[in-house]
Amino acid sequence: MSYNYNSKIFSKIKTLLKNFREFYHQKKGVDVSKIKKIEDIPFLKREDFNDISQFLRSGKEYFVTMTSGSTTNSFFILRNKKSFDAHIKRQVKIYKTAGLSKKDRFLNLLSYSISGAARIIDEALGKIGVCRIPVGSIKTRQHLHFVIKVIQDLHPTVIEGYVNEIYEVFSRIGKKHSIKKCIVTGEYLSNDFKEIICKIGGVEIFNNYGSMEFSGFAISDDPEDEYMRLFEDGLYIEILKDDGSVSELGKGKIVITDLENFCMPFIRYILGDIVEIIKRGEKKYIRVLGRTDDSILLDGEVFSKQEIIETIQGILKHPHFFLLINKNPYTYKDKVLINLSPSDKDKIEKIKKAISERLRILDIFEFNIYKGSVPKTSTGKFRHIIDLRKNVR
C-alpha cells in the first residue's frame, strides 16, 4: 500500500516540531519551517537522545517513566497530560479486546518502578473497574513464592507479566489455579514456547505489544492468532522499508510519532522492531518479526540472537539458561559460553547437535553448569545473551 498523506496528522506533527526547531536545525541540518510534507521530516533514533537532553523538559510534565535499558542505554520519558490520557485510552481498548470486565481479578506482575509499565496498566484497569492485585515483577525466589501464595489465596482470573515470569508461575502451580487468561508483554514469545506455557498452565495467552516510549498499542484478539490488533489513538505509525520508502502497511522498521506528547521529541521515531502491518476489513493488525539489533556477529558469521535462543530453548523446554560471549584470550576468536542449570547437564549433547544442524557452527560454543539464576534487567526480564565483547578496548 502506498503512503497515505494525512494533512490533519501533518498539522499536528508541525506543531510538535515547533518545540524542537533548534534540535532539528542544529543536529539534523533541517530548517523545520521549510518542511512541507511528512516525508521531509528526518527520522529520530535512540542514539539521538544523547544530544537532546536540553529539550526534554517543557515545564508541563505529567507522568515520568524510564526505559529498562535492555537493548541500549536507558533514558527518561516525560509525558504531558494529553499524551498520558491517550496512552490510557489505548490501554483500556487493549484490555477490553482481551475480554476483561468488572468481574475479573487482575494479577499484575509488571514492574512498579520508574522503568516499569505497571502503574499505567493499573490506571487503565481502574477505568474498566477491574480488581487489581499489584504484586510487581518477580526478581527473587522469595517473591515467586509470594506470588504463588497470592494466587492460591486471592484467586485471580487474569495474569500479566513477562515471558519468563509467566513460565515460572505455571511451571510450579501447573493447572491448579483460577487463572483463565494470561497476557504476555514486553518480550518476544515464540509459538513453540507459547505452546509449552499453554500446556503446563492450561490458560489462554494473549500477546500484548508496546514499548516504554509509547505504552501498549496492540494485542491479539484471538489467542491462536500471531497477529495483534493495532490501536493508534494518539499515535501515527509508519513502516520504513528496506529501500527507504515509507507506507502504512507492509514489512519493515516500525516508525512511531506520539501526536500528543509535547514533553518528548518522539517525532518519526524508529522504535527498533521489524514488523508487518496488514489490514483486515477496516482494522489493522501487526506482528513482530524481530528487532533491528537482533543480528550478532560470531566468528565472522552473522546470526540471529532469537534463533540461538530458540534453538537452545527448544531442547530445554524452559528459559533457565544464558550465554556469555567473549574473546578467547589466546586465539582472540569469539567464544560463547552456554550456562545451563545442573538438571540440564544430560541435554548438552542434544544442544550441540541442534546448534550444529541449525546454526552450522559449533567450535566456538562451550558449556558451563551454574547454580545461580539467569541475569535479569531492571524490570525483571531474563537476559539470555550477554555480549562482553562490547567492553573490549
Indicate the length of the chain as a whole number. 393
Grouping H, G, I as helix, E, B as strand and the rest as coil, residue 16 is helix
Q: Does residue 274 sit in helix, strand or coil? A: strand
**pLDDT at residue 96, as a whole number:** 96
Residue tagged 522492531 (cell numbers):
273
249/226 Cα distance (integer angstroms): 17
Tell whether 266 and 336 lie within a shared domain: no
High-pLDDT (> 70) share of the chain, %: 93
Residues 3 and 6: their CA atoms lie apart, in Å, by 9
Task: Quote the cell numbers at residue 146.
Answer: 509470594
Mean pLDDT of 166-172: 94
Residue 393: pLDDT band (50, 70, 90) is very low
Please tell me the predicted confidence (pLDDT) of residue 390: 64
Bigger pLDDT: 27 vs 261: 261
Give the pLDDT score at 360: 74
Identify the domain containing residue 333 by its residue range. Answer: 295-391
User: Are 288 and 304 in a shared domain?
Assistant: no
**pLDDT tens-digit series, residues 178-203:** 999 999 987 777 788 889 999 999 99
One domain, residues 311 and 330: yes
Last residue in a domain, options 245, 270, 292: 292
How far apart, in whole angstroms, are the C-alpha atoms of residue 386 and residue 393?
17
> Can you tell me the distance from the alpha carbon of 360 to that of 382, in angstroms, rounded to the nearest whole number?
26
Q: What is the DSSP letter of 290?
A: E
pLDDT at 373 over 80: yes
262 lies in the same domain as 181: yes
What integer pLDDT is reported at residue 100 of this predicted model?
96
- Look at residue 339 and tell me whether its pLDDT is greater than 50: yes
Sheet holding 321-327, edge to edge: 365-369, 334-340, 321-327, 385-387
d(CA 373, CA 140): 9
pLDDT for the residue 392? 43
**What mean pLDDT do residues 1-10 have?**
65
Instruction: Pick the closest to residue 216 from 343, 360, 314, 94 (CA basis).
Output: 94
The whole-number average pLDDT for the span 342-357 is 92
Query: Taking Cα atoms as reference points, which of 305, 309, 299 lies closest to residue 361?
Result: 299
Residue 2 has pLDDT above 50, yes or no: no
Rounded percentage of the chain residues whose pLDDT exceeds 90 = 49
Mean pLDDT over each residue of the chain, to the nearest integer:
87
What pTM, to 2 d.p., does this model score? 0.84
* Domain shared by 319 and 360, yes or no: yes
Is the pLDDT at 38 greater than 80? The verdict is: yes
Q: Tell whether 237 and 323 lie within a shared domain.
A: no
- Whether 115 and 139 share a structural domain: yes
Domain tally, the chain: 2
Q: How far apart are CA 97 and CA 320, in angstroms?
A: 32
Instruction: Give the helix ranges, DSSP H, for 155-190.
Output: 163-173
Task: Supply the CATH number for residue 29's domain.
Answer: 3.40.50.12780
Task: Return the closest-CA partner of residue 257 out of 289, 197, 213, 315.
Answer: 213
Q: Mean pLDDT lowest for which of 166-170, 220-224, 297-301, 328-332? A: 328-332
Residues 274, 384 share a domain: no
Q: Does one domain contain both 249 and 268?
A: yes
Distances (CA, A) of 378 to 76, 149, 301, 381: 14, 24, 31, 8
Residues 220 and 208 in one domain: yes
State the pLDDT at residue 51: 60
> Above 80 in pLDDT, residue 84?
yes
| CATH code of residue 366 | 3.30.300.30
Model confidence at 367: pLDDT above 90? yes
Residue 175 pLDDT? 95
- Show which of 292, 315, 341 is a domain's final residue: 292
pLDDT for 340 beyond 90:
yes
Q: What is the pLDDT of residue 55?
A: 58
**Number of Cβ within a 10 Å radius of residue 22:** 12
Q: Which of 292, 313, 346 is the last residue of a domain?
A: 292
Highest mean pLDDT among 306-315, 352-361, 375-384: 306-315
Measured distance CA(102)–CA(128) in Å, rounded: 7
Helix, strand, coil % over all residues of the chain, rounded to 5: 35, 30, 40
181 and 196 inside one domain: yes
Residues 201, 304: one domain? Answer: no
Q: Show the cell assigned to 186.
A: 514486553
